[in-house]
Amino acid sequence: MFYLGCLIPYRVPSYEIAARKVLDKLDIHLVEMPEFNCCGLPVDPISHEMMLILAARNLCLAEKEELDIVTLCPGCNGTLHKVNRILKENDRVREKVNSFLKEDGMEFRGNREVKHLIQVLMDNVGPEKIKEKIVNPLSGLQVVEHYGCHILRPTEYMGFDNSENPVILKYLIEPTGANCLDYVNKSECCGYPIMAIDEKIPFQLARDKLRHMREVGADALVTICPSCYLAFDVNQSRIEKLFNEKFELPVLHYPELLALALGIESNELAFNDHRVKISKAFKIGSGG
């Protein structure tokens, strides 16, 4: 089942559009999840119990359809994945959560799994099969990747790749033909989570990362998180103005990069939504 969460449909629809195009091209059928609610992550600092109930309700929707969940947002993925494991392993917590779910005619049973898009592409498709589907190799394109904080952390719950030295996204970029560059502080936070508290800190963190990316000669940045995308794309002009620097580094969701390599036309993707024009790195129309 395709879990979109709250942020992507309203602020980053370009991520969803590209993901749907790519998964269709790779013959992965998505089942919609129209009755989903917030994953629960935003309310965790206020009520941990409410977070558990919200996440559990989404898991129950997948259990009802006997389908696993695929997510795009690492925050949503991390929350659903963590709660799924907690409820499977902790009888006391599961019973308490089920007492609330009962009012909605639901019961958590713990027979489904949650995966982020990049896990599905790695585990269920694989780099080799992706490479076989490439018709427009992005040879000569120099990119850097940014993982964000939630996709691999906390490691005791996520259980894949190495949170300090991740490689999964690099392995998925390689089949596109683009060259994935290493840079200083690759695994550090973009700062977006504290945006509402103090803009100066996230702007400084994002600026430092953009400088490191520029130093290695990147043509574009590839992200897998909608919040990280907002930090680097939407806020890039504000960072440039604040620090009197120019980066002009296009930011792509990984599915957008893959879509271009799979031969999906740029006018089928929502590149208009990007603040830093994709045409700076690709030979496509600035509005395409």
Same domain, 149 and 75: no
Q: What is the pLDDT of residue 164?
A: 82
Q: Rounded mean pLDDT of 3-17?
A: 97
Where do runs of H (alpha helix) occur along the chain?
7-11, 13-25, 48-65, 74-89, 91-101, 117-119, 127-133, 155-158, 168-173, 200-215, 226-229, 236-243, 254-261
Does residue 287 surpass a pLDDT of 80?
A: no
Instruction: Give tens-digit pLDDT for 63-90.
Output: 999 999 999 999 999 999 999 999 999 9
Same domain, 86 and 133: no
Does residue 44 surpass a pLDDT of 50?
A: yes
CATH of residue 200's domain is 3.40.50.11810
Q: Among residues 233, 251, 121, which one has the least CA distance to residue 176?
A: 121
The pair of three-digit structure tokens given for residue 63, joined into one six-digit string: 């259990």
* Residue where a domain terminates, one of 69, 96, 117: 117
The parent domain of residue 75 ranges over 2-117
Instruction: Give tens-digit pLDDT for 188-203.
Output: 999 998 888 888 899 9
Does residue 127 surpass a pLDDT of 50?
A: yes
Does residue 286 surpass a pLDDT of 60?
A: no
Query: Position of tokens 């990280």?
Result: 228
Does residue 145 surpass a pLDDT of 50?
A: yes
Same domain, 217 and 256: yes
Identity of residue 36: F
Same domain, 99 and 218: no
Q: What is the pLDDT of residue 279?
A: 85
Q: What is the pLDDT of residue 56?
A: 98
Q: Rounded mean pLDDT of 9-30?
A: 97
* Residue where a domain terminates, one of 117, 151, 177: 117
Same domain, 231 and 266: yes
CATH of residue 57's domain is 1.20.1050.140
Q: Average pLDDT of the chain?
A: 94
Same domain, 139 and 233: yes
Please state the domain count of the chain: 2
Q: What is the pLDDT of residue 284?
A: 59
Same domain, 83 and 189: no
* Residue where a domain terminates, one of 77, 99, 117: 117
Strand partners, 146: 223
Does a structural domain hold residue 287?
no
Same domain, 183 and 271: yes
Per-residue confidence at 205, pLDDT binned at 50, 70, 90? very high
Same domain, 100 and 133: no
Same domain, 157 and 253: yes
Residues 204/234, Cβ–Cβ less than 8 Å? no
The reply to whether the predicted model has a pTM over 0.85 is yes
Task: Report how far residue 228's alpha carbon sits from residue 190's, in angstroms, rounded to the nearest whole number.
Answer: 6
Q: Rounded mean pLDDT of 89-112?
A: 97
